[in-house]
Structure 1
């Protein structure tokens, strides 16, 4: 693999918000994880040998199944006891979280504010597009789980809203 090919792969990962990629060829195995970890392992050449008796294949091998969304490193998981019955508003896309429509504008919502279903809570910028994130329920914003300007992952909790 040439440096130019590797650069193109890394650029595509960033543009599409992919958090992990594994590429395997006859010569090497390349694993790239978001956060800068790159691992490349050379695969030794194997001389053809008689195949041993077939071993049973495990029933479920979820190799191509996507990993379930998880909170990124450093994120604090929401406390269930802190807000019983609260609804988590999760990031529907990967991007940058903004609490206000502009740097000099007031935030859409603050902790303790009452919100209505469909009311804009924040913006997530993804690939130069501003995506408004709306409340899924009417209620009171109990906790804002992300700081302004922080990157967010798909499925990451953003707000805890107590329905009323």
Structure 2
């Protein structure tokens, strides 16, 4: 791996908010975590070849990413907030988007009536856009995530009151 390739990987991590990446080849294993920690582990081979040496990039070229913001555990909705509502949860880790494009209207708004199978949002994971569909027919009572926020697996996204 060349220093230029490593720099591109580090820039992609910062741009896409990835907190950890592991890359394995027959020659080495590279693990990068946000905050600048880099580990290179040589893997034994049948034909000995020198392991690549990765030097830290100068600060002027690749500024250290800001420390990750503390992640609060998702709070369960209060019972009186929406009695009898169904939680639609994130099936994957990724970035939550309310609309199919930045200039498009959102799929749903609070107060909208939705049908089972209707698209509620998109979660982007590894450059793939995953449509998240409603599990029930009902009325969207609460949208629990802001547009563009990262979401965790199982995190509540919507409260829908069945009708």
- TM-score, normalising length: structure 1: 0.58
C-alpha distance 83-93 of structure 1, shift in aligned 2 (>3 A): same
5 Å matches for 1:82-161?
82-161=81-160
C-alpha distance 85-149 of structure 1, shift in aligned 2 (>3 A): same
Q: Residue in 2 aligned with 1:78?
A: 77
Helix, strand or coil at the partner of 2:81: coil
CA offset digits 1:90-113 (Å, max 9, x no partner): 000000000000000000000000
Helix, strand or coil at the partner of 2:157: strand
Gaps of 5+ in 1: 14-33, 39-71
2-structure distance, mates of 1:12, 1:163: 43
Q: Residue in 2 aligned with 1:11?
A: 21
CA RMSD of aligned residues (A): 2.6
- TM-score, normalising length: structure 2: 0.58
Gaps of 5+ in 2: 1-5, 11-19, 24-32, 38-70
Deviating beyond 2 angstroms after TM superposition, the runs of 4 or more aligned structure 1 residues are 74-77
Q: CA deviation at 1:11?
A: 1.0
